[in-house]
Amino acid sequence: MRLSRRKLLIAAGAAAAGGALGRTGPSTATEATPRARLLTTTPRQNELVEFRVDGVPLPGAGQNPFDPAQFDVPVRYVGPGGRELVTTAFWHESDTWRARLLAEVPGRWRAYVDNGAPVTVHVARSPTPGVVRRRDSQLVYPDGKPYLALGENLAWSVGDVADDYQQWYAALGEVGATWSRLWMSSWAFGLEWNDTPLGDYRARLGRAGLLDAVLALGEAQGVRAHLVLQNHGAFSTTFNSEWASNPYNAALGGPLATPEQLWTDATATELFRRRYRYAVSRWWAHPGLLAWELFNEFDLMEYRQEVPAAVAWHREMATYLRDLDPLRRPITTSLSVLGVLAPNAGYDEVWAVPDIDIVQAHVYGSDAAPTDLLPALSIAATRLRAHGKPFLHGETDTHSAPAHEWDPTGEHLVDLVWGGLFTSAAGSAMPWWWDNYVDRRDLYHRFAGGFRFAGTNTDVIAGAEPATESADSSIRPLTVHHLRNGDRGAMWIRNAQHTWFSPDDTTVSDATVRVPGSRPTAVQFWNVSTGEPTGPETVLDTAASTTTVSVPAFSRSIALTYRHPRRTPRSG
């Protein structure tokens, strides 16, 4: 049986054209007009709305419901003002066809399955924030308010998946997180591995159902997810290699003699397209999804891979994914620390791909000895910022193992949060060891101050540019990380002798800092541990280009924000 996808040339607001689904071959269901049946009790704006699709033949013996050459069930939604969203129905683990909708505007929506009669859905207004998209070098909500990514990686669970993610997301929600990162790897949420025929995901649909549940758990806490569609180890013989078990390996009957042939092999490309098609049809409408990530650390496939071929593959696949997604969510990929620190290798060219929206790199410290992560974040940021897109430190940590011995109290997490934000990234730097370090040692409180500060001052931090300023003290040398955003700015003032691996709790009580002035300047200091103000805002009236401000006594670090309120005209 084959369902042919017809070109949908129906004018906005017009009724769907009549006609039955074209078919070839046997069907296991009674012939009927295809129709969407609403499953969601109360459809709301910016929330997941789900339908069961009836009247579409079920797959028979020898048929593959994931093969678009056999089953292609177009679904079209028409909303207020004639806005159209086009996607496809997907095969569900309940042995039914399903379709999903995320309506960004409330009102009357109509759902058409192929050329069947429409089903009307009334979508209620909701305060749920809308889909985040790229605007220049920022990530923003539909109303233009900036989004800052604050969180950590939550790539997989090796225990009870539902219980683990419920605990992790609840803990992150309590400290104000907004971001997480999930892997569709073979041992986690992957749709395809050696327990499935290539391109047939029926044996792994239980994992897809778990991913539905996990995205919902995150969304309930205000935490959205980067969904990593492919991990590096499956196509590497060097780094975390799974190549010997990969069904794409020719030794197991797959199409690829070597991993790097993925970039150019037509069969592999079509199989990846099929997987993307299913992923988008199932998760495009999930409010817990922030962005699609094509590949985790694609530079780790092989040391000597053909970089131009990898970039060309990203260009093709990003465009394909963008065309599939009715909401055009952000798309990214990622480089390891090796790729970031070797820009002459050509990896940076991937960030020029038009449909790559978020520039992302991963930075780790040395395995040999504890190292300060802040210089590495700064170097990476300088290179990533040059591409004029939002950038993220998507994975960061002290080294390639949990820091139980080096940092049992999680001091380095403070550096990752604040240091990431003050590189002008689109969020904090994201720690890697979520389960066997952050959660095991209950270190979520280390995120709280930076996340709360960023949440309160998003309009200052988002879109800001690094600037230079200095602070003085006779007690300790000081380092100032400065972001300036028009007539506002923020600073993170640090005891330069303090590091996460060599703490210095000396109280600095005589510090002064220079703040851009030339008109009234309102200055607010913030406690780094709590993210709360240390006292009332102070307004200074000055005509100088900079104002020297006394800093409250602190140890380790303190933050400040400044703004320039307009002068109040004198009466009379």
SS3 category, 32? coil
Q: What is the pLDDT of residue 403?
A: 83
Average pLDDT, the chain: 91
Instruction: Give 285-327 pLDDT, tens digit per residue.
Output: 999 999 999 999 999 987 667 899 999 999 999 999 999 999 9
Question: Residue 25's pLDDT band (boundaries 50, 70, 90)?
Answer: very low
**What angle do helix axes 445-456 and 411-421 make, rounded to 10 degrees?**
20
Q: What is the pLDDT of residue 347?
A: 87
CB 248 within 8 A of CB 235: yes
In degrees, rounded to 5, the angle at the alpha carbon of residue 396 between the alpha carbons of residues 391 and 398 is: 155
Transcribe 522-560 into DSSP letters. EEEEE-TTT-SBSS--EEE---SSEEEEEPPPEESEEEE
pLDDT surpasses 80 at 150: yes
Transcribe 180-191 into DSSP letters. EEEE--TTTT-S
In degrees, rounded to 5, the angle at the alpha carbon of residue 349 between the alpha carbons of residues 343 and 353 is: 150
Instruction: Give 238-247 pLDDT, tens digit per residue.
Output: 999 999 999 9
SS3 category, 179? strand
SS3 category, 88? strand
In the block, residue with structure tokens 């399955």: 113
| Cα-based distances in Å from 16 to 2, 7, 86, 100, 322 | 21, 12, 13, 19, 25
Closest Cα partner for 168 from 431, 528, 449? 431
What φ, ψ does residue 455 adopt, rounded to 5°?
Answer: -65, -35
pLDDT surpasses 60 at 140: yes
Closest Cα partner for 290 from 165, 131, 485? 131
pLDDT surpasses 70 at 234: yes
Transcribe 43-60 into DSSP letters. -BTTSEEEEEEESSPPP-
Q: Cβ of 308: how many Cβ atoms within 10 Å?
A: 11
Transcribe 6-17 into DSSP letters. PP--PPTTPPPP
Instruction: Give 69-116 pLDDT, tens digit per residue.
Output: 999 999 999 999 999 999 999 999 999 999 999 999 999 999 999 988
Contacts 24+ apart (CB under 8 A), 104-108: 104/45, 104/46, 104/130, 104/131, 104/142, 104/327, 105/45, 105/79, 105/80, 105/81, 106/44, 106/45, 106/80, 107/79, 107/80, 108/79, 108/80
Q: Would the pTM of this model clear 0.85, i.e. be above it? A: yes
